[in-house]
A and B are shown apart, each in its own frame.
Chain A
Amino acid sequence: MANYIIKRLLQVIPTLLGITLITFLIIQLAPGNPATLKLQMAGQGEMGESAIAQQIIQQTKELYGLDKPLIVQYLLWVKRVFTLDFGNSFKDHRPVLAKIAERLPITIQLNVISIVLVYLIAIPFGVYSATHADTFSDRALTLFFFFLYSLPSFWVAVLLIMFFGGGDFLDVFPVYGISSIGADSWPFFRWLTDRLWHLILPVTCLTYGGLAYLSRLTRAEMLEVIREDYIRTARAKGLSERVVIFKHALRNALLPIITLLAFLLPAMFGGSVIIESIFSIPGMGQLGFESVLSRDYPVIMAITTISALLTLVGLLISDILYATLDPRIKLE
């Protein structure tokens, strides 16, 4: 086991280097560069009148360290990252890690809540579908979840805001941000309800689409397990259906579902640019999107690297979990 973990950890290094190198090359070789972009920005689709002398652009490039050969730039970056220094954003010269630290908690709150909700809702319905396979209610559930999955989230977000956010219809939910102004000085309980109140619409938008996949997966896994011999044995022993389903079947069916969590890590870290921009939530999605648009290389690199690292570790943990929980699987 220890050997296996060490081996896997060693594998992380080349993968990580590969990811960073690919990202680095993509963003550097792509058209558009941060120096000229910064000098010409005056607003959307509008340019400032100032002239841009070539010499000044050159100075800005030197300032950003973009005048060196690509490979040197990459190696310098790697060297800095080893000391956990992801550099400063081109946009405002603040440390990239500080910018991420500012936004990550918000994104994680949103995503953790929505993932937990997806699991809480989808698994029971999946089990229900499996135990009622091919009945009318199973089909209705299938149809309903697919129906939800098929609704583009930006569309739903916009409609929800229109209907529940105090347009010409209901005024129930706040439509932007994640807390009321001044909420930071409120007592905890009031702060919490205010926060949750703000999160309801965005979390709804992030949640409904995931239900179909997970409930279908649960259903499939359950059906698979139910056909296994040990379930038959359990039934034959006269155990109640409830015990059979929950204690024996579900437990085993859940395994692949739980390990799925590892794959959700990058999405959790990356946030959702669409939902965040509609609801004015300053999360990772917005940060990533803006950094791509403004060619803020250090931020792009940091987001990719950290998300990659998290996922690799997540994959490792899920494999280990799998092996620990399922005696049939042995780690080489």
Chain B
Amino acid sequence: MRQQRETPHTYWRMVWKHFRQKHLAVAGLAVTLFFFAVAIFAPLLANDRPILVRHSGQWYWPIFSGLERVGPYHWKELKRDNLPRIYQGDLGAPGDFAVWPLVPYSATEYDLLASLEPPTVQHWFGTDDRGRDVLSRMIYGARISLSVGFVAVGIAVSIGILLGALAGYFGGWADQLVSRLIEILLTIPTFFMIIAIIAFLPPSIYNIMVVIGLTGWTGVARFVRAEFFKLKQLDFVLASRALGASSARLIFVHMLPNAMAPVLVSAVFGIAGAILTESSLSFLGFGVPPPTPSWGDILSQSRDYIEFAWWLTIFPGVAIFTSITAYNLVGEGLRDAMDPKLFR
């Protein structure tokens, strides 16, 4: 049993060792982490108010407190003559200063007088049809696009593992049922089904995640099922069972870790697919509801302006395909690194 426990540890170390040697995969990982950082720190990177304000010897954190003003300083007025500057020192009273985010715009504030402006010093990525800052929307869009990917795939993987494990472990009726269910999902054109369900459900970012997840688990289930069929016959499983381990324990403690490699790889590819699906849904008008920004949404909004507003189409397009390529490279790297045959 001890031996069993330690194997995964060294196994993952091996995987990492192999993974590290793949430059493309490492580059993909770096890009992925970069987008992650952007998503996590979005409010500090783009906001319509300062991060930090010093006023009569006091410190204020407007982003976190939600204050509209401090003393004589109203953010809107401060911003008017500030653009774009991180440190704003020359405030009314001596010693007062403000520290601004890199992009001093929120994702939703609009300015009709500044609509469809090409990139300028104020708006690095230009503005959209309502004069909203494209860079700010993309920074917040990173949150949506990434969370759609992760949550959708999380759902898909959980369902897939559970059903696949049940089918593979118990066989017989359970297997029949799960196999029929997989078949049913395989037979309906996926995108058609997603549209149908999305059209019928009230639109929200969560429904999109759930639907992409619910339609995407069959691959994982098939992997796990096949893997379990093989594992069931192996000595260590038979031994554990002989020792009286419960089914649940067998499945989740002993067998599952051994079947995780292909699941992980397909999950990483799945994230890429989910981001792509989200952008296609946006194009059809079934994307995230306004005013939430997502990359797919910005990109599809650009449809009407494509002939002259290149910034609306290039920036989100590049963001989508770099992040998807990055995920795929990570997935590819993981697959190779996890291939036990290469360990020999």
Direct touching of A and B (C-beta under 8 Å)? yes
**Restricting to B298-344, which residues have a CB under 8 Å from any CB of A?**
299-300, 303, 306-307, 313, 317, 320-325, 328-329, 332, 335, 341
Counting contact residues on chain B (CB < 8 A from A), the size range is: 35 or more
Question: Is residue B33 within 8 Å, beta carbon to beta carbon, of the partner chain?
Answer: no
**Restricting to A256-274, which residues have a CB under 8 Å from any CB of B?**
263, 266-267, 269-270, 272-274
List, in ascending order, chain A residues with CB within 8 A of B191's CB: 267, 270, 272-273
In the bound complex, CA of A31 to CA of B186 (Å): 26
Contacting A27 at CB < 8 Å: which of B200, B272, B296, B328?
Answer: B200
On B, residues with C-beta under 8 Å from A are 24, 180, 183-184, 186-192, 195-197, 199-200, 272, 276, 279-280, 283-284, 296, 299-300, 303, 306-307, 313, 317, 320-325, 328-329, 332, 335, 341
Is there an interface contact between A147 and B325, defined as CB atoms closer than 8 Å? yes
Question: Is residue A307 within 8 Å, beta carbon to beta carbon, of the partner chain?
Answer: yes
List, in ascending order, chain B residues with CB within 8 A of A146's CB: 324-325, 328-329, 332
* Supplied contacts A146-B324, A293-B199, 11 more A-B pairs, CB within 8 Å: A18-B184, A31-B200, A147-B321, A153-B280, A154-B280, A154-B283, A158-B303, A273-B192, A288-B195, A292-B192, A307-B187
Is there an interface contact between A266 and B186, defined as CB atoms closer than 8 Å? yes
Contacting B196 at CB < 8 Å: which of A26, A267, A285?
Answer: A26
In the bound complex, CA of A218 to CA of B341 (Å): 17
On A, residues with C-beta under 8 Å from B are 11, 14-15, 18-19, 22-23, 26-27, 30-32, 139, 142-143, 146-147, 149-155, 158-159, 162, 167-168, 212, 216, 220, 227, 263, 266-267, 269-270, 272-274, 285, 288-289, 292-293, 300, 303-304, 307-312, 315
The residue on B at minimum CB distance from A155 is B317
Contacting A150 at CB < 8 Å: which of B24, B296, B325, B332?
Answer: B325
List, in ascending order, chain B residues with CB within 8 A of A155's CB: 299, 313, 317, 320
The residue on A at minimum CB distance from B300 is A154
In the bound complex, CA of A154 to CA of B196 (Å): 19
Q: How far is the CB of A155 from chain B (nearest CB, A)?
A: 5
Q: Is the interface of B mostly helix, strand, loop or mixed?
A: helix
In the bound complex, CA of A309 to CA of B187 (Å): 8
Q: How far is the CB of A44 from chain B (nearest CB, A)?
A: 11
List, in ascending order, chain A residues with CB within 8 A of B284's CB: 273-274, 289
Q: How far is the CB of B207 from chain A (nearest CB, A)?
A: 13
14 A/B residue pairs, CB under 8 Å, sorted by A: A15-B183, A22-B184, A146-B328, A146-B329, A147-B325, A149-B328, A151-B321, A159-B306, A168-B307, A216-B332, A266-B187, A273-B195, A285-B192, A289-B284
Is there an interface contact between A142 and B332, defined as CB atoms closer than 8 Å? yes
Is there an interface contact between A150 and B186, defined as CB atoms closer than 8 Å? no
List, in ascending order, chain B residues with CB within 8 A of A18's CB: 180, 184
In the bound complex, CA of A263 to CA of B190 (Å): 11
Contacting B307 at CB < 8 Å: which of A22, A139, A167, A212?
Answer: A167
List, in ascending order, chain B residues with CB within 8 A of A269's CB: 189
Is there an interface contact between A149 and B195, defined as CB atoms closer than 8 Å? no
Is there an interface contact between A292 and B328, defined as CB atoms closer than 8 Å? no
The residue on B at minimum CB distance from A303 is B192
Contacting B189 at CB < 8 Å: which of A151, A216, A307?
Answer: A307
Q: A154-B280, A158-B303 are in contact. Are A315 and B313 (CB under 8 A)?
A: no
Q: How far is the CB of A288 from chain B (nearest CB, A)?
A: 5
